[in-house]
Each structure stands twice: as structure tokens, then as C-alpha cells.
Amino acid sequence: MQSKAYAGFMQKLGWEVEIISTRADLVYLYSKKVPLLGSVAKIPRSTVSLPMDLVDQAAKEKKALFVKIEPSATLDKMDALPEGFRKDSPILHTKTILVDLAPIPEKIEKSFKGDVRTCIRKALKENLVVQESNDLGQFYALFEKTAKERGFYHPYKKQMKNLRDAFFSQVKLFLAFQKPLEKHPDPLAGCFVITHNQVAYYKYAASTPAGRKKGASYLCLWKAMVACKKTGCHTFDLEGIADERYPQTRKYRNFTHFKQSWGGKEITYLGSFAKPYSTFYKLLSKIELI
């Protein structure tokens, strides 16, 4: 993401931040030193028309092995890709679904597939309620348990806290509970959402087995959409689905099905690309060892 808040988050992770100023925009380049070799650099979610003279200069000053870019542009902008970049393995998601929040909530809900609407109604019949929360510890405990149970990667709590602290008021936590809360204080589902430039990003989600049976995840996401719409967001980014161009994303098939059920428009980004700068890295690139 190209923003001051995200730059602050990257600094907390140990990355140096270089701001490349152009007449039209600011470009954030992140670099990290590699002992004995120099450094690596990346420019996530920038426009495809980068000021390459300034990028090249920054890369050389930092003795970068390479600069990786993952543009916010879609496939139809492939011709605009700067020279010298070759396809590389992705770090960020390369395909996503955007849900339009502009219509009234009733119209948005009608765009969902039948199973989503059924699960939302089921959750309400089960007497579930969704609350906005500031309790990152409670959400992370649920998230960590879900990740271990379902076998997917989860960041350390400190990393999630750094992300929350960097975006601060732009972060929204939603937790789904069984009523009455006095008897059921533990959440059944939750989601971590970042809002930026009127777009809401569905960063993390979690649920218990009991919550999944009651449709808690569906109600939680729906209430998150409604809340973000009320704060002025016009788009809800479901943050990544499987991409047939990258076999390693096949493991995302289960939650891809979940996300596709919410309607929305599938967006395919250009992908991930790297430009080598060191002689050694250029050689490896030519013989396709990296």
C-alpha cells in the first residue's frame, strides 16, 4: 500500500522508507539490508508509471540486489510496465474481489448469492450479534486459535498490533457473539478491517467451529460492510483470492469460494515483477535460477 500509515508499519518491521517525490504523486520505496550482499527493495501497489530514473538512483544508492514492484494496475495496463522488469513470485495477492458499497444496504444484500443471505438469516435466528470492538487481544486470541486449527499462516501478535497502531483510527475490529453476552463472553467470529481512501480492506478473519455452524462469519462480514459504508467507504476489498497464474495460490480455494459468494467484481492485478541491479542477481535472472 502506498500511504504514510503503511510506511510507518513497514518501519516497525525493520524496513527503511525512501519517499520518491514526483509532480503527480509520492512513491514509497521500502528497502532492507541483506548482510554481505547489499539490500532488497520493493514498491508495493504503486501506479505502473513509475519515475524509473529516481527508482534506479535509489536502488543504486542502497546497493539493491533488485527492486520488486506489485502495481495496483490491472491486466489491461501490461503495456505500461517499465522496462527491465521480469515476472516474479508474488508477495501481495494478485487477484481480489471488490464489493460496491454505493447502493443502499438492501440492494447490496440482494447481490449476494443465496447461501450468503441464508447464513446471515440463520445467524440472526441463532440470536447472534456483531459489535465493533477495540479489544485487539480478544480478536488475536480467536485469530490465532483459528489459524492453528485450520493450518494457515498467522502473523505474530506484535505484528498485528504494529499494523493497528500504524493505521490507528482507520482500523475497525468486529466481533460476533451469542446473546446474552453475560453468558457467552467469547466471540464466535471476528474480522479486522482497514479503511483507507474510502476503501475498506478485509485484512484478517477468524471463527470458531460453533460460530461457523451458526453463520457467525457471514453476519460479521455483512455488519462490517454496513459499518464501513456508514463511515463513507464506497468499496469493500475482500483482499485476495486464488489466481490461476500462480499455482501457489491454489491453497486459497476454500476462502475464494466464500468470497465469491458476496457478489462483487473480480479484479486481476498485473502481478509481481522484479528488476535486477547487482551483476550477480542479473546473472541468476538470465539463467532463471530465481
Percent of the chain with pLDDT over 90: 80
Count of structural domains, the chain: 2
Same domain, 78 and 115: no
Q: What is the pLDDT of residues 228-261, one digit of tens each?
A: 999 999 999 999 999 999 998 888 888 899 999 9
Domain shared by 83 and 99, yes or no: no
Kindly report the three-state secondary structure assignment for every residue of the chain: CCCHHHHHHHHHCCCEEEEEECCCCEEEEEEEEECCCEEEEEEECCCCCCCHHHHHHHHHHCCEEEEEEECCCEHHHHHHCCCCCEECCCCCCCEEEEEECCCCHHHHHHCCCHHHHHHHHHHHHCCEEEEEECCHHHHHHHHHHHHHHHCCCCCCHHHHHHHHHHHHHHEEEEEEEECCCCCCCCCCEEEEEEEECCEEEEEEEEECHHHHHCCHHHHHHHHHHHHHHHCCCCEEECCCCCCCCCHHHHHHHHHHHHHHCCCCEEEEECCCEEEECCHHHHHHHHCCCC
List the domain range (segments joined by +) for residue 81: 4-92+269-286
What is the domain-level CATH number for residue 28? 3.40.630.30
pLDDT, tens only, 108-140:
999 999 999 999 999 999 999 999 999 999 999
258 and 148 in a single domain? The answer is yes
Mean pLDDT check: name the lowest of 9-13, 75-79, 114-118, 263-267: 75-79
Round the average pLDDT of the chain to a whole number and report it.
93
Same domain, 81 and 124: no
Do 180 and 280 have their domain in common? Answer: no
Cβ-Cβ contacts under 8 Å for 180 (sequence gap 6 or more):
none
C-alpha cell recorded at residue 111: 447481490
pLDDT, residue 286, reads 59
29 and 116 within one domain:
no
Is the pLDDT at 223 greater than 60? The verdict is yes
What mean pLDDT comes out for the span 36-62? 93
Binned at pLDDT 50, 70 and 90, residue 105 comes out as very high
Please indicate, yes or no, whether residues 100 and 198 belong to a single structural domain of this protein. yes
Same structural domain for residues 19 and 122?
no
Question: Which long-range CB contacts under 8 A does 21-25 form with residues at least 24 apart?
Answer: 22/51, 22/54
Same domain membership, residue 109 and residue 84: no
Tell me the pTM.
0.92
Answer whether 228's CB lies under 8 Å from 207's CB.
no
Position 18 pLDDT exceeds 70 = yes
Do 177 and 76 lie in a common domain?
no
27 shares a domain with 157 = no
Residues 49 and 175 reside in one and the same domain: no
